Structure 1
Amino acid sequence: MPQGYDFIIIGGGSAGSAIAARLSEDPSARVLLLEAGGSDRHPFFHLPAGFAKMTKGIGSWGWSTTPQKAMKHKVFNYTQAKVIGGGSAINAQIYTRGAAQDYDEWRQMGCDGWSFEEVLPYFKKSEDNDTYDGRYHCKGGPLGVSMPAAPLPICDAFIEAAGQLGIPKTTDVNGEKQDGAGYYQLTQKKARRSSAAMAFLGQAKGRSNLTVRMKAQVKRILVEHGCAKGVEMADGTKITADREVILSSGAIGSPRLLQLSGIGPADHLRSLGIDVVYDQPNVGENLQDHLDLYSICEVTGPHTYDRYAKLHMSALAALQYVFTRKGPVASSLFETGGFWYADENARSPDIQMHLGLGTGIEAGVEAMPNGGVTLNACHLRPRSRGSVRLQSANPKDMPLIDPNYLSDPYDLEMSIRGLKLVQEILAQSALSNFIFAERLPGPEVKTDEDYFDFICVHSKTSHHCAGTCRMGNDEAAVLDPRLRFNGLDGLRVADASVMPTVNSSNTNATSIMIGEKAADMIKQDQGMPL
């Protein structure tokens, strides 16, 4: 006989962990959280600097994109989390929400209830902020949000250098105004990572009505007579959901599972031999992501954390962390940055910068043998749109991930402007005592054609994919604004895939907010106490 629950949540990432914890606050609700990945017990998931290991294979599926047609067929490593906590367990812990205008535009696009003033309470609800409180922040929530524990002098020099170009210093990019350069707050508590699983599921641990299963691969969502009734697992086990199935597997995983379940573009599914359960052409469409470009400079001395790459220095760093909670192990390695303009007519900053306290931190990025610093820039509101499709009916096969980077010429122009901006910052006198020489792009890159050639080799994803199951009030929308699947009962999607447009920053905080808001909407629709 199938096992039964009230709610089945597929995916224990940023949104799914929040939803599971919030729904299980009602002791009468039987909640099952299914996570295809494994446990987060390994120390790398808890130590802030463990991020450097994450894009190189630990805790990820090892997926990549299709060759990018507008970028000379470059193939990108595309890190997708394979661990409880999802992206929040392997990211650089940067806590940013985007611009208020992002959410107001969602509302203008027909997403009732998603304006900035309406989502702000859900951002605050999660927070346990070690510095700020008031209109924009809160203390006492499950998610640790903290100032960096181990900044370096080069960070302050970067902020000063940005100021020399007219970029003001900011103390809170999540406050009244996003513009400026400064320190990011991080999803950390007491110099340890605070992932969604650590924060939300940690508080919910021990509730008898919450079951969390890891290494639990869902084969398909079960639909009967137009209503989601449960799931079938990879081993053939069937589990029923008396109230709702909530899909929270991310902007790649959610459309992938829907299509494996026969829910998606009918012609594509039939071509793979998958029985069509519901024809929804826009499942997997509208993929958006931030393309990340970078400039790398060699430094004049031990000003970054590159020197700790050697074994004896790594041991010293470990001891420093154990006894002081300071040093490179306490650092996310990307703690400073800011928001500014490539397009002077943009309605809010359209470039985000991340100062990397070393080189070769992420997969595919070059390392400087004598030590260096990396300054990333990404264009925040890309016009290019891609897709997520299946390459076969086999759930073990990697999906066809096509961000379609730079297919819109505007994105290329703004991206190049952003790269030139970070080069200018690194060349300012405030950094002259720290910077020895620019190594990438280097002096030989001069024309826009040179920059394009450079970008086609030296670029990466910002890990901010979104939009593949977008909500809206139009006929083409996959979901309604309450995140219910249009055309099927008993099924919701709640993760970064629901965004009609990607928010103008890192996406983790927004995904958690979506989980918080989804939980309240589910409780309201099901007559549960809030």
Structure 2
Amino acid sequence: MPFVDSAEECYDYIIVGAGASGCVVANRLSRTNKTLLIEAGGLDSSWEVLMPQHCGLTWGDERFSWPIMSTPQVHLKNSKSTTAYLGKVIGGSASINTMCWMRGNQSDYDSWASLGERSNSAPILVPVACVNKSDNYYYGMYPNNKKEMAQRDWFVNHTGPHTSLGLDVAAIIKTDKKLDRPNANFMFVDSLYGPFPGGNLFQRDHSETPGYMCAVSNAQVFSRGSVTLQSSDFKDEPLVDYDMFSDNRDVQNAIEGVKVVRQIFEHEALSDDVQTVVLPPPHVRSEQELEGFVREMVGSHGYYSGTCKMGSYSDSMAVTDNQGRVWGVGNLRVVDSSIIPDAPSGPLVSVCTMMAEKICDKIQEPQQQF
């Protein structure tokens, strides 16, 4: 990675953070402007980053990620804390996550057009549909000699099972047709993760037990958390409080999502493939039992948004306008997931990429006020 030779060097733009949005902005602005991109992490050239099948190896590795430990979540079983990992590498979290490129649902963005008061421009985001395709392998079911072959295929030719994350099917659905928006996000994984219960759901279980699972997440989140300072010492970690399940609608949506997945796995079409349903345990059936289950098992995907939400000047919670310009501060924009006013129903990398492209369009317009 190139370094700045002189502290006295001048730049047209300084971009702090080489995540998905930062890389897009740097790419666009550096074509015609002298631009400095600052990133705490290193290059994304390590095999741990490049190999899709083992992206989980980067989580918790201080070379590639920032561990984000929440405060105790009082609405979860035993008030447990949860840990998620944000990218500390070129590409940011997009370099270490599960490569899920999902635009969410159109209804996620319906309110964005009215945000901001500085221009009468169209919404900054026009969602586009993209598909990541890969061969469908079932690495978790391979015997050891096959795994050795798979490793050789990857390191020699970048082919074989390691090119697939094993997360090839996802869905955003309504658990009730009467709902006006989807409320559940499903990600089907062709191997077992663990440890269970109550641990890190994204830590691969290295046992040889064949199986598959579905991670359920809420496509609408009603609980609201906070990020605050722990002290006046900048070296101290911030206090991250999701306040998970503080709104009971989130609890109910999680329960309904689990019910739908259970119906899928118990369907007769899968009867030849499913020998045992491990979670939820078969005896967990009542509403009360399912509520206890989700309060114990819930964790964080690490898709953070909304801490610098965009909105109108009259909105006391808004930090930026709809072009990322910080209210009351000149020559400063925020262009990342923190300005998203409401969390989309899917992963954030596609949203951040398109949002950065659209904001760069505005920055590069003639006579544009930065």
- 1:269 matched to which residue of 2? none
Identify which of 140, 145, 155 aligns with 1:306. Answer: 140
Structure 1 position 334 matched with structure 2 position 175? no
**Percent identity over paired residues:** 29
2:251 aligned residue (412, 417, 422): 412
Contact 1:341–1:351 (8 Å) recurs in 2: yes
Superposition RMSD on alpha carbons, in Å?
2.4
Structure 2 Cα separation of the partners of residues 88 and 47 of structure 1? 13
Given residue 499 of structure 1, which amino acid in structure 2 is its aligned partner? Answer: I
Provide closer, same or farther for how the CA distance between residues 56 and 334 of structure 1 changes in structure 2, counting only shifts above 3 A. Answer: farther
**Would you say 1:67 and 2:72 are equivalent positions?**
yes
The amino acid that maps onto 2:13 is F
Give 2:232's aligned residue. Answer: 393
1:357-395: CA deviation from partner (whole Å, max 9, x where unpaired): 111279713746522211111111111110111212333
Amino acid at match of 1:3: E
Name the structure, 1 or 2, with higher relative contact order (CA <8 Å, separation 6+).
1
2:360 is aligned with 1:524: no
SS at match of 2:136: coil
What amino acid maps onto 1:151 in structure 2? Answer: N
How far 1:482 moved relative to its partner?
A: 1.6
Q: Give the 5 Å matches for 1:362-441.
A: 364-365=200-201, 367=205, 370-441=209-280
In 1: Cα distance, 2:58 partner to 2:273 partner: 28
Q: Which residue number corresponds to residue 509 of structure 1?
A: 350
Return the alpha-carbon distance in structure 2 between the equivalents of residues 465 and 346 of structure 1. Answer: 25
For 2:85, the equivalent position in structure 1 comes to 79
Q: Provide the rounded CA distance (Å) in 2 between the counterparts of 1:395 and 1:41.
A: 30
Q: Deviations over 1:55-85 (max 9, x none)?
A: 3436111221111121131211121111111
Question: Quick one: which amino acid aligns to residue 17 of structure 1?
Answer: C
Q: Contact conserved, 1:6 with 1:31, CA < 8 A, in 2?
A: yes
2:349 is the counterpart of 1:344: no
What is the CA–CA distance in structure 2 between the aligned matches of 1:514 and 1:3, rounded to whole Å?
A: 29
Q: Which runs of 5+ in 2 are unaligned?
A: 1-6
Letter in 1 for 2:67: G
Q: Call closer, same or farther: CA 1:453–1:525 in 2, change over 3 Å.
A: farther
What are the Cα deviations for residues 73-109 of structure 1, in whole angstroms up to 9, with x where unaligned? 1211121111111011001111111111211222245
Q: Aligned letter for 1:50?
A: H
- CA distance in structure 1 between the partners assigned to 2:54 and 2:235 by the alignment: 27
The CA distance in 1 between the partners of 2:296 and 2:16, in whole Å, is 36
Provide the rounded CA distance (Å) in 2 between the counterparts of 1:475 and 1:501: 14
- Pick one of 26, 50, 57 that aligns with 1:53: 57
Cα separation, 1, equivalents of 2:50 and 2:223: 35
Change in 2 beyond 3 A, CA 1:446/1:427: same
3-state SS of 2:277 partner:
strand
Distance 1:361 1:86, change over 3 A: farther
One-letter code aligned to 1:305: Y
Report the 3-state secondary structure (helix = DSSP H, G, I; strand = E; otherwise coil) of the residue aligned with 1:95.
coil
Deviation of 1:396 (Å):
3.0
Q: Distance in 1 between matches of 2:152 and 2:243?
A: 45
Question: C-alpha displacement at 1:526, in angstroms?
Answer: 5.7
Aligned length: 351
Is residue 12 from structure 1 mapped to residue 18 from structure 2 by the alignment?
yes
Name the structure 1 match of 2:132: 146
Question: Which ranges of structure 1 fall in alignment gaps of 5 or more residues?
Answer: 125-135, 138-144, 153-303
Matched, 1:444 2:283: yes
CA separation in 2, counterparts of 1:330 and 1:361?
A: 22
Deviation at 1:313, TM superposition (A): 4.2
CA contact (8 A) 2:12 2:34 kept: yes
Change (3 A) 1:390 1:49: same
Distance 2:219 2:286 in 1: 23
Give the alignment of 1:5-404 within 5 angstroms.
Answer: 5-26=11-32, 29-57=33-61, 59-72=64-77, 73-108=79-114, 113=121, 115=123, 119-120=125-126, 146-147=132-133, 149-152=134-137, 304-308=138-142, 312-321=145-154, 325-360=158-193, 364-365=200-201, 367=205, 370-404=209-243
Secondary structure, counterpart of 2:70 in structure 1: coil
Q: Deviations 1:461-514 (Å, cap 9, x if unpaired)? A: 122211110011134111111211101111110100111111121111001111
1:344, 1:351 → 2: CA distance?
12
User: Given the superposition, is the C-alpha separation of residues 314 and 396 from structure 1 closer, same or farther in structure 2, using an over 3 Å criterion?
Assistant: farther
* Higher share in strand: 1
Question: What SS class does the counterpart of residue 232 from structure 2 fall into?
Answer: coil
Equivalent residues of 1:92, 1:333 under 8 A apart: no
User: 2:326, 2:334 within 8 Å by CA — same for their partners in 1?
Assistant: yes
Check conservation: 1:472, 1:478, Cα contact below 8 A.
Answer: yes
Tell me, what secondary structure is at the counterpart of 2:14? Answer: strand
Amino acid corresponding to residue 11 of structure 1 in structure 2: G
Taking the aligned partners of 1:393 and 1:322, their CA distance within structure 2 comes to 47
CA distance in 1, matches of 2:71, 2:101: 29
Which residue pairs with 1:255 in the alignment? none
Q: 2 CA distance for matches of 1:523 and 1:37?
A: 28
Q: SS state of the match for residue 67, structure 2?
A: coil
SS of aligned partner of 2:236 = coil
| Aligned-partner Cα distance in 2 for 1:43–1:325 | 11
Distance 1:23 1:411, change over 3 A: same
Cα shift readout 1:207-258 (whole Å, capped 9, x = no counterpart): xxxxxxxxxxxxxxxxxxxxxxxxxxxxxxxxxxxxxxxxxxxxxxxxxxxx
Q: TM-score, normalised by structure 2?
A: 0.87
Is 1:500 aligned with 2:333?
no
Q: For the Cα contact (< 8 Å) 1:97–1:509, is it kept in 2?
A: yes
Q: What CA distance in whole angstroms lies between the structure 2 residues aligned with 1:307 and 1:21?
A: 41
In 2: Cα distance, 1:461 partner to 1:320 partner = 33
Check conservation: 1:15, 1:511, Cα contact below 8 A.
yes
Residues in 1 aligned to 2:57 and 2:219: alpha-carbon distance in whole angstroms = 25
- Residue 323 of structure 2 is aligned to residue 482 of structure 1: yes
Q: Distance in 2 between matches of 1:113 and 1:371?
A: 52
